[in-house]
Amino acid sequence: MPREARLFDRFGGSPAKALPKMTANIPPNWIARARGARKSREKDLVKALRKLRELEANRPTAMVTIKAAKAELRVLLKDWEASYRKETFYNGLRILLELSRDGKSER
Q: What is the DSSP letter of 24?
A: S
pLDDT of 10:
85
Contact 15, 7 (CB under 8 A): no
User: Where are the domains positioned within the chain?
Assistant: 25-102
Query: Is the C-alpha dihedral spanning 89, 95, 98, 102 positive or negative?
Result: negative
What are 62-88's pLDDT values in tens digits? 999 999 999 999 999 999 998 899 899
**pTM score of the predicted model:** 0.79
Contact between residue 26 and residue 97 where contact means Cβ atoms under 8 Å apart: yes
From 24-28, 30-34, 78-82, 101-105, the region with the lowest mean pLDDT: 101-105
| pLDDT at residue 107, as a whole number | 63
Cβ–Cβ under 8 Å, residues 59 and 65: yes
User: In the chain, where does DSSP find H-type helix?
Assistant: 6-10, 15-18, 28-58, 63-102
